[in-house]
């Protein structure tokens, strides 16, 4: 585990990250508050460990108390999108890597002890011959009591089933030729299990060609998780989510703890889905410079914490980028696409109110402050997250 330099808090308070980071004193609230440690996956071969207080009534509802990081490798060998805390033991986190390691020609699957930050197991994983487009690999994942099941973004996409005890791969499951085969070109599989671990929710982005551009239609599949853990495919329900061509990509998702809802990241939006019917309850757009990659509920299912890859504009316009969602909701995307020299990519968390069906307050950075302090002149590219909640 590594800690950012001790004066990073001073840097943030001084304004380097704008108003979105410090919520202390912003509002007095009698509403429910939450304490959580978020483990946010990053392409640099590490997880940001963000210890936060969430006060939905505050202007800045996600208050970052402490920021450290947990390394699993480096950016070449262990770029990571997947954080999955063991349902049996909150001190253990499973993970899988997003790219094939150029040295070993294999991906990595491992687990980390969150008490020490040390990797306790790291196995090399061969890529199945049927997956011929492999520039994107593991991202989402699910689990049962005994199995860890990362989902590959390759084409063909697949779900691997690893035994938790020794990370032995037990099955590799392709959907082609099964009842879950959409029989159309697609780009990216993602999925996660229900709280009782009986269901595995899958999303597939239909595309103009294999691993091509999404056409704005997302297939929803509810599979039997127990059968999947055995290497078999049983479809329980199906649905469809609309999107925008070239903009909407389904990424990671979570069921609500009560099992009734699914919060599904979608790139340019976040979906709220009825877990029983797979009907879309809300189609909440992100701001023009944001891209949603994961969404996890609070323990009472009342709020969702969403990850955002946010383009913070170079040249003093960061605070404009980072205003309250309600202040920017009517703004239109820039006509000209930003180039890599026009912005720094930051990783942020933002809060969504389930009952109100809207994002509230300003977002909070969990990446760029540490990058700035450490002198890392690279984009902060986050993806998935998991959390350990403090019981009150």
Ordered by start, the domain boundaries in the chain are 2-389
CATH of region 2-389, choose from 2.50.20.10, 2.130.10.10, 1.20.200.10, 2.60.120.10: 2.130.10.10
Alpha helices for the chain (secondary structure H): 8-13, 225-228, 318-321, 325-328, 368-374
pLDDT on residue 381: 63
pLDDT tens figures, 191-207:
999 999 999 999 999 99
pLDDT tens figures, 75-105:
999 999 999 999 999 999 999 999 999 999 9
pLDDT on residue 365: 85
At residue 120, the 3 state secondary structure works out as strand
Mean pLDDT of the region 273-301 = 96
Across 136-252, where does the E strand assignment appear? Answer: 138-143, 147-152, 158-163, 169-173, 186-193, 199-207, 214-224, 235-242
pLDDT on residue 233: 98
Out of 218-227, 248-257, 289-298, 335-344, least confident range: 335-344
Structure letter (DSSP) for residue 237: E
Q: What is the pTM of this model?
A: 0.87
pLDDT tens figures, 5-15:
443 333 332 23
As a whole number of angstroms, the distance between CA 13 and CA 11 comes to 6
pLDDT on residue 43: 87
CA-based nearest residue to 379, from 310, 308, 306? 310
Out of 55-59, 128-132, 137-141, 334-338, least confident range: 334-338
CA-derived radius of gyration, the chain: 20
As a whole number of angstroms, the distance between CA 8 and CA 380 comes to 16
pLDDT on residue 209: 97
Are 171 and 198 a contacting pair, CB within 8 Å? no
pLDDT at 211 over 60: yes
pLDDT on residue 310: 86
Mean pLDDT of the region 335-364 = 83
pLDDT at 332 over 50: no
Buried b (16+ CB within 10 A) or exposed e, 132-167: eebebbbbbbbbbeebbbbbbbbbbbbbbbbebeeb
Label residue 346 by pLDDT band (50, 70, 90).
confident
pLDDT on residue 373: 58
pLDDT on residue 35: 97
Are 227 and 198 a contacting pair, CB within 8 Å? no
């Amino acid at each position: 585990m590594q800690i950012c330099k001790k004066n990073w808090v001073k840097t943030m308070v001084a304004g380097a990250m704008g108003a979105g980071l410090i919520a202390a004193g912003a509002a007095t609230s009698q509403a429910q508050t939450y304490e959580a440690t978020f483990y946010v996956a990053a392409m640099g071969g590490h997880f940001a460990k963000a210890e936060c207080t969430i006060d939905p009534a505050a202007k800045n509802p996600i208050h970052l108390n402490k920021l450290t990081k947990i390394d699993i490798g480096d950016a070449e060998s262990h770029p990571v999108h997947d954080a999955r805390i063991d349902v049996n033991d909150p001190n253990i986190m499973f993970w899988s890597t997003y790219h094939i390691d150029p040295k070993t020609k294999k991906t990595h699957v491992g687990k980390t002890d969150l008490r020490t930050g040390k990797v306790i197991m790291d196995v090399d994983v061969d890529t199945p011959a049927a997956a011929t487009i492999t520039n994107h690999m593991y991202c989402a994942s699910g689990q049962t009591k005994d199995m860890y099941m990362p989902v590959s973004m390759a084409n063909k996409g697949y779900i691997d089933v690893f035994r938790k005890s020794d990370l032995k791969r037990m099955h590799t499951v392709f959907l082609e030729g099964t009842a879950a085969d959409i029989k159309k070109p697609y780009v990216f599989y993602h999925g996660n299990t229900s709280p009782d671990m009986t269901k595995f929710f899958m999303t597939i982005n239909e595309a103009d060609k294999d691993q091509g551009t999404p056409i704005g239609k997302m297939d929803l599949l509810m599979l039997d998780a127990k059968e999947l853990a055995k290497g078999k495919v049983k479809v329980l329900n199906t649905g469809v989510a609309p999107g925008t061509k070239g903009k909407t990509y389904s990424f990671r998702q979570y069921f609500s703890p009560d099992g009734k809802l699914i919060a599904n990241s979608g790139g340019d939006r976040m979906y709220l889905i009825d877990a029983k019917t797979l009907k879309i309850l809300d189609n909440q757009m992100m701001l023009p410079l944001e891209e949603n990659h994961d969404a996890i509920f609070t323990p009472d299912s009342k709020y969702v914490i969403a990850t955002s890859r946010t383009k913070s504009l170079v040249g003093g316009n960061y605070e404009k980028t980072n205003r309250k969602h309600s202040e920017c909701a009517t703004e239109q995307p820039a006509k000209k696409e930003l180039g890599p020299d026009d912005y720094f990519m930051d990783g942020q968390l933002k809060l969504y109110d389930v009952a109100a069906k809207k994002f509230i307050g300003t977002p909070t950075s969990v990446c760029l402050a540490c990058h700035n302090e450490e002198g890392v002149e690279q984009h902060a590219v986050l993806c998935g997250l998991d959390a350990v909640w403090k019981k009150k």
